[in-house]
Structure 1
Amino acid sequence: MKETITPFSYGNEDKIHEETNPRKFYQFYVGIDIGASFHVASCIKFDAFLDPKGTAWKRTKTLKFNSDSSGIGEFLAALKQIELQFELAQKDFLILLEPTGGHYSYLVQQVLLNEGYDLYQVENKAVGEFRKNNLGITEKTDSMDAKVMSYMGWHKQLHPHMQGVTLLRPQTVLQSLFRTVMRDRWYLNVQLTRRKNQVQQLLKVTHPDLGKAFKSLGSTSVMKLVLDYPTGLHMKESSEEELYKAISKSGAKKVAKQAAKTLAEIMPNTVAVPVEHLVGRQTWVIEEALRLEESIKLIDKEIHNLLWGVPEKGVLPHPYTEILLSLPFVSENIACTLIGVIGDIERFNTYKEFKKYLGASAENKQSGTSVSGTRQTYSGVRDARRVLYQIAFIVIASGKHNPTVFKAYYDRKVEEGMSKKKALGHLCGKLANLIYSLLKNNQKYDPVIHAAAIGVKLEDLNAKVNEEPLLLN
């Protein structure tokens, strides 16, 4: 096979791509639909899928069991009963479940792994798509989804190279914690942005002139200042010196002098309206925003400890931390998100499987049997797709002043006539390829090696900062 070197490759990916798991057939295929209070499991024998009419597997009964200790114990007892009846062992069962609902799947997942069963995760969206597109079943119930997962496990073993189904080893609880923490931070940040927008709306009534002294009315220092001076009328009688001390106390020391002077000049003529219920709501919203900011700071500290460890407590750094942070434009938050999504790179057999899981691969635009082109897949983990696009946007935005091979690749695609949106998707795909290669090889990103691998010198990129973008050959 002819060896090819593509951008974002160190040239030795062919051996990596050849690694695949040997195909293995099981006696029973188990699917578990995860819920908050209870789970639903199906256990279907291999022979049931060979029914010529294709209905035997649909008629199998399912087991509904609680998500507590007694319920999981009941499920394990049912599996043990089948083992005794058919003289089987744990290795004769293939179990599939969804990574649904935060921590809901952790307990049953860990118990099954401790018992020695072969267990894989399948994305929630993939189950629905397989049920409708491959099986033509519109029925959406917990019982049917459990059976469909059993079918997916059997079908994947029968057709190991099938593109529609990706089975992944489950993450450990620690690995999943990375994803949960970043999801929590994202939710808190959304709430904080909403609260800050509410503060700025309220200040248009209670403090209409505050914008002349501060660029951002949603900043922490401005919100703290407004707690001391709820309306412009409270600030009207204050001297410039009093305002200077209050602004400095709120944390805006750099602009305190100029802001105090500006406010002292304009506040005597303010037309702010002291509506009591608006002032009360404004105070509550500001206090909530400040609380959210403190919560985000605590989460950022936890993220740092997850990545770099806590030596005094014997907690070691994560092995992927230095590798991911060696990439340009990757922050601790982005690294934590990627680790949470990836878990262990050994869960993925090929870079194509990895790209699809991250939502950075291409798929055919198809209507019936007609294929009209390609598009970026709608599947994959949205957290990973979001951070890949975030990196790509930063690369493009900073390209003029901080040229990189990534920006050169994007420019090349645009020059070839590709739309900017599609070129952005290609860039995300190449970033995913690079991350896969680095983690598989346990190797930090080296821009010199990277540039040399595709025939580009870094000094040439830096020399053309103010010229036309350098295109890759």
Structure 2
Amino acid sequence: MRVVFGIDVSKASSEVAVVIDMKRIKLFEIENNRPGFNLLGQELSAFENPEIIFEATGVYSNRLCRFLNDNNYVYTCLNPLEAKKQLDSLRKRKTDANDAWRLAETQFRFSRPTSHAVSPIYSELLILSRHYDQISCDLVKCKNRIHRSLQNTFPEIEMVVDKKDTTFYWNIIELFAHPDLVTSLTLNEVFLKLQQISTHHAKSWLLKKAKYIQDLAGITYPVCDVTSSEVNQIQYLADQAVQLIKRKDMLIKRMAKLAENYPDLEIIKSIPGIGEKTAVLLMGELGDLHRFKGSSKLNAFVGIDIRHYQSGDSVAPDRISKLGNAHARKVLYQSVMSIASVKSPCHIKDFYKHKKQSSSSTKKTAIATMQRLLRTIYHLVLNNQMYSYEIAKGR
């Protein structure tokens, strides 16, 4: 006897269809809360090894996954695109109840693999990774607003240091958002203010920067006075930028602490050009690599699998699907750029330089290198092996 529970998950409730040997037995509704899941558990416990199938519905299906994992049930969480392809031909009438029935009935037709239970550590790393990305977006918006306002107060102050992504730079902006805040001070007073916000710069360098700031304040021509609200706005935004940078650093430290006992972290870090920040972000976005049956599945998950189209004499250029994890693609791209600039020998860097010589498209070169990097990470993690250039270049 084969028992299948098809579950159509909505925001607040779910339709559950029970099918035994292709015969419809029962349809009932549960609330997506503790009483509702307890009712589902009672129904499941009436059968031995029931098959459970449902479609991933973003955050709404997460509670169901948690309940099933907590109670050690094996289930299949179906990708929405895959579910659409499998059910569209059968759907004559689209309702939640019909979807539940069809999910259960098609389980007898399709060989669907069970879903891999996600470790709480990887789930937490993913949450932190998305939080990090959101803060990065907030920081970009903050920088753009400051840049626009500085054009009315003190645009030359942006020339003081080259690196614009440090707390030192934003503290300078906060201190000297208007030239009058500089001209009212002596050279030594400007130097002392820089010394207060600096943690590692030499005194001679800070004195040189203090003189440079005074020179810039003497040649600029501000649109507004120092009493303008725009100056207060710049100071507020600069302080926000400092807090966002500190928050990003804190998140990376927390991710590294969570992942420190997992061998994946040191394995990924062993690839030249990948540091701790990139490694933990990759762990968060890619998750447990053991759940993938091959590197091609991992490519599809990220969305860099190649789509080929040919009809008659017409052949379209190959393109990546972009149906996977956009956040992972972003981290992988940054990883490739970092590896390409590293001095240490790395076969990923060799591959990138070789492809760049034979291709005029930087984007295509980067994507091809991302695929090579992803295969390397997959192989190393599955074999619990540290990176070796001598071994890698021989493959």
Q: TM-score range by the shorter chain?
A: 0.7 to 0.9
Question: Are the counterparts in 1 of residues 267 and 385 from structure 2 also a CA contact under 8 Å?
Answer: yes
Find the partner of 2:153 among 203, 206, 214: 206
Q: CA deviation at 1:437?
A: 1.7
Q: List gaps (5 residues or longer) in structure 2.
A: none
| Counterpart for residue 41 of structure 2 | 76
SS class of match (2:192): helix
| Counterpart for residue 206 of structure 2 | 256
Give the Cα separation in 1 of the matches to 2:97 and 2:280: 35
Q: CA deviation at 1:92?
A: 2.5
SS class of match (2:390): helix
Q: CA deviation at 1:171?
A: 0.6
When residues 227 and 212 of structure 1 are mapped into structure 2, their CA distance, relative to the original with a 3 A threshold, is closer
Give the Cα separation in 2 of the matches to 1:444 and 1:363: 32
| Counterpart for residue 406 of structure 1 | 348
When residues 29 and 78 of structure 1 are mapped into structure 2, their CA distance, relative to the original with a 3 A threshold, is closer
When residues 213 and 438 of structure 1 are mapped into structure 2, their CA distance, relative to the original with a 3 A threshold, is closer
Pair 1:120 & 2:94 matched? no
Question: Are the counterparts in 1 of residues 154 and 179 from structure 2 also a CA contact under 8 Å?
Answer: yes
Find the partner of 2:186 among 236, 239, 261: 239
Question: Are the counterparts in 1 of residues 265 and 279 from structure 2 also a CA contact under 8 Å?
Answer: yes
CA shift digits 1:342-373 (9 cap, x unpaired): 433332233332332232322333689x9756
Considering only aligned residues, what root-mean-square deviation do their CA atoms show, in Å? 3.5
Give the Cα separation in 1 of the matches to 2:146 and 2:359: 45
When residues 412 and 296 of structure 1 are mapped into structure 2, their CA distance, relative to the original with a 3 A threshold, is closer
Aligned positions of 1:58-137 closer than 5 A:
61=27, 63=29, 65-80=30-45, 83=46, 88-89=47-48, 91-98=49-56, 100-101=58-59, 105-128=61-84, 130-131=86-87, 135=89
Give the Cα separation in 1 of the matches to 2:100 and 2:181: 63
Give the Cα separation in 2 of the matches to 1:222 and 1:372: 48
Question: Are the counterparts in 2 of residues 181 and 303 from structure 1 also a CA contact under 8 Å?
Answer: yes
Question: Match for 2:110: what amino acid?
Answer: K
Q: CA deviation at 1:263?
A: 2.7
Identity value in percent = 19
Give the Cα separation in 2 of the matches to 1:289 and 1:415: 39
When residues 184 and 107 of structure 1 are mapped into structure 2, their CA distance, relative to the original with a 3 A threshold, is same
| Counterpart for residue 6 of structure 2 | 30
SS class of match (1:320): helix
SS class of match (1:442): coil
Give the Cα separation in 2 of the matches to 1:327 and 1:261: 43
Question: Are the counterparts in 2 of residues 179 and 341 from structure 1 also a CA contact under 8 Å?
Answer: yes
Pair 1:267 & 2:214 matched? no
| Counterpart for residue 45 of structure 1 | 19
Q: CA deviation at 1:241?
A: 0.7
CA shift digits 1:422-470 (9 cap, x unpaired): 443332222222222222211111111112x33xxxxxxxxxxxxxxxx
- How many residues align? The count is 389
Find the partner of 2:277 among 303, 322, 333: 333
CA shift digits 1:179-232 (9 cap, x unpaired): 111111111111012112211221221223323433356642243234344422
Question: Match for 2:71: what amino acid?
Answer: E
Pair 1:282 & 2:234 matched? yes
Give the Cα separation in 2 of the matches to 1:367 and 1:149: 33
SS class of match (1:196): helix
When residues 337 and 141 of structure 1 are mapped into structure 2, their CA distance, relative to the original with a 3 A threshold, is farther
When residues 139 and 236 of structure 1 are mapped into structure 2, their CA distance, relative to the original with a 3 A threshold, is farther
| Counterpart for residue 4 of structure 1 | none
SS class of match (1:198): helix
Q: CA deviation at 1:276?
A: 2.6
Q: CA deviation at 1:402?
A: 5.0
Give the Cα separation in 2 of the matches to 1:232 and 1:99: 54
When residues 67 and 205 of structure 1 are mapped into structure 2, their CA distance, relative to the original with a 3 A threshold, is same
Find the partner of 1:306 among 258, 271, 289: 258
Give the Cα separation in 1 of the matches to 2:351 and 2:263: 29
Give the Cα separation in 2 of the matches to 1:199 and 1:390: 25
Question: Are the counterparts in 2 of residues 94 and 153 from structure 1 also a CA contact under 8 Å?
Answer: no
Question: Match for 1:33: what amino acid?
Answer: V
When residues 358 and 230 of structure 1 are mapped into structure 2, their CA distance, relative to the original with a 3 A threshold, is closer
User: TM-score, normalization: structure 2?
Assistant: 0.83
Give the Cα separation in 2 of the matches to 1:447 and 1:377: 31
Higher relative contact order (CA 8 A, sep 6+): 1
SS class of match (1:118): coil
Give the Cα separation in 2 of the matches to 1:136 and 1:281: 58
SS class of match (2:17): strand
Q: CA deviation at 1:168?
A: 3.2
Question: Are the counterparts in 1 of residues 53 and 78 from structure 2 also a CA contact under 8 Å?
Answer: no
When residues 322 and 301 of structure 1 are mapped into structure 2, their CA distance, relative to the original with a 3 A threshold, is same
When residues 76 and 282 of structure 1 are mapped into structure 2, their CA distance, relative to the original with a 3 A threshold, is same
Q: CA deviation at 1:257?
A: 1.0
Give the Cα separation in 2 of the matches to 1:235 and 1:374: 57
| Counterpart for residue 439 of structure 1 | 381
Q: CA deviation at 1:145?
A: 5.9
Question: Are the counterparts in 2 of residues 236 and 270 from structure 1 also a CA contact under 8 Å?
Answer: no
Question: Are the counterparts in 2 of residues 168 and 348 from structure 1 also a CA contact under 8 Å?
Answer: no
Question: Match for 1:408: what amino acid?
Answer: D
When residues 291 and 410 of structure 1 are mapped into structure 2, their CA distance, relative to the original with a 3 A threshold, is closer
SS class of match (1:45): strand
User: TM-score, normalization: structure 1?
Assistant: 0.71
SS class of match (2:366): helix
Give the Cα separation in 2 of the matches to 1:337 and 1:139: 43
Question: Match for 2:149: what amino acid?
Answer: L
Q: CA deviation at 1:114?
A: 3.6
